[in-house]
Amino acid sequence: MGKDYVHKSAREWPPLGLAEQRFLVACLRNGEPLPTTSAAFDWNTFVRRAVSDGLAPLVYQRLKGNAGIPPSTLDHLKRSYYQNLSANHVRLMELRRLGQMLQTYDIRLLVLKGGALAQTVYDNVALRFMGDLDVAVLPRQAEAALAALQADGYILHQEQAQAGEQNRAAMEEFGWHLRLTKWVLGQQIELEFHWPLRQVVLVSQVARLDLNHIWATAIPLDPEANLWQPAPAAMLLHLCLHTGLQHRFNDLGLRHYLDIDRVVRHYQGQPDFWPAFVRLAQGTHAVQVAYFSLWFTEALLGTPMPVALLHQLAPAAWKRALFGRYLRPSDVVNRTRALYGGRRIVWRLLTTDRLLDLLRGPWRVLFPGRTYLADYYQVKNPASLLLLWAWHPLRSLGRAGRRRLREMRLRATD
């Protein structure tokens, strides 16, 4: 799942040298002294990388007022900071309006990732770059919510609108999320509408995210605006799944790990934070993904992770060695290596809790079981379920083929 975001970035921007890498990471680490820079320091490449990876606002906050930084560098970072502040102000204002609008339909709006994190775990909303707003509603309200958003002026992206004239057809075809867009105050708002129709999400071939639990434990983000967010442990697990499964640990560079770092620092003082996280990771069959995401966050950003926690989640030593061989901190900083192509099987191996699941995974995708089919297709009749048991594999293969063709077309036009 997910697109190969790395190759385009690697083509467009030259990699940072070792000195620039160390300086960038030090800017993002809490309280770490900045290393000294020499006359050979490549400020132009440093700034381009910080801006393109959505890190410039945080870097500016750390460097502003530092007399040793070239004025042109600070000016560039400052522009990015205030541009992001302005863009996020519009996004979050629109998010509040959407929550209030959906409240008139008695639909709660769950806010994921940046839209929630910018308002909670970052010092101010300018510091978290957001390309879009990630939201979800209860599965039984998905069709009504999508219709309300469209009536409000949001339109589906072209390829999703072409999936069928009915909204349900688009939701079934693009089951992970729908993308909608609207212009607000001269700014294009991108809305990712997650998990329509799903009670349980098959995050990978074996990891299953229980959305009923996420909704049952959701906490208020902005009660007056009808905005909710996942409980801290669920938020952290979702970030780990997003990092390791959707983006294969380094598609978005350091941004993955900054979110994890900020969530851990903000919430780990709560008594049940880590026990709840472990229970969720085990129940989702995502212990390996959780471990590698947390371990790499600690390695990159010095995040204070409990030793006992990492020991409890740790995979076999050979898996840890394999991970270190195929993905190094410099690869994340420069976004130069991803677990795609011939390394796909390595990625599968690293993110699967049990080796047997590598064989079971494809079977579960094609034959997910009666409960999943009944939930996904909203049917209860035994005869209908029997027909779906035979038809679902063909439909899944067809959808996978169409998705692969779309990805090939995207790469061809890249």
Specify whether 272 is located in the same domain as 386.
no
Classify residue 211: in a domain, yes or no: yes
Q: Is 239 within a domain?
A: yes
Do residues 378 and 318 both lie within one domain? no
CB atoms within 10 A of CB 314: 15
Is residue 164 situated within a structural domain? no
On whether residue 122 sits in a domain, the answer given is yes
The pLDDT, as a whole number, for residue 3 is 47
Pair (267, 413) in one structural domain = no
Any domain includes 50: yes
Q: Does 126 share its domain with 240?
A: yes
Structural domain tally of the chain?
2
* Domain around 375: 367-414
Which pLDDT score is estimated for 407? 66
> For residue 171, is it within any domain?
no
pLDDT band at 35; cut points 50, 70, 90: very high
Least confident interval from 2-16, 42-56, 189-203: 2-16
Beta bridge partners of 191: 133, 180
Tens of pLDDT, residues 206-234: 788 888 899 999 999 999 999 999 999 99
Q: Are residues 284 and 347 part of one domain?
A: yes
Residue 75 lies in a domain: yes
- Whether residue 275 has pLDDT greater than 70: yes
330 and 373: one domain?
no
Q: What is the pLDDT of residue 67?
A: 85
Q: Residues 6 or more apart from 229 whose CB is under 8 A from it? A: 110, 111, 112, 116, 120, 218, 219, 220, 221, 235
Task: Specify the 3-state DSSP secondary structure of 349.
Answer: helix
Instruction: Report pLDDT digits (tens) over 308-336.
Output: 999 999 999 999 999 999 998 888 998 87
- Are 229 and 83 in a shared domain? yes
Assess whether pLDDT exceeds 80 at residue 167: no
For residue 245, pLDDT over 80 is answered with yes
Q: Which of 55-59, 298-302, 309-313, 382-386 is the least confident region?
A: 382-386
Residue 81 to residues 22, 84, 256, 336, Cα–Cα distance (Å): 21, 5, 19, 25
Query: Which has the closest alpha carbon to 153: 110, 101, 226, 106?
Result: 101
- Among 155-169, 181-195, 270-284, 354-368, where is mean pLDDT lowest? 155-169
Is residue 311 located within the same domain as residue 268? Answer: yes
213 with 268, same domain: the answer is yes
The model's pTM is 0.88
Q: At residue 194, does pLDDT exceed 90?
A: no
Whether residue 327 contacts residue 249, with contact meaning beta carbons closer than 8 Å, is answered with: yes
Per-residue pLDDT band at 410 (split at 50, 70, 90): low
Asked if 229 and 219 count as a contact pair (C-beta separation under 8 A), the reply is: yes
For residues 160 and 117, give the distance between their C-alpha atoms in angstroms, rounded to a whole number: 28
Asked if residue 398 and residue 270 are part of one domain, the reply reads: no
Q: What is the CA radius of gyration of the chain?
A: 22
Six-digit token pair at 399?
């959808």
Instruction: Name which residue leads in pLDDT, 414 or 172.
Output: 172
Q: Are residues 129 and 77 in the same domain?
A: yes
Regarding whether 266 and 120 lie in a shared domain, the answer is yes
Decide if 192 is inside a domain: no
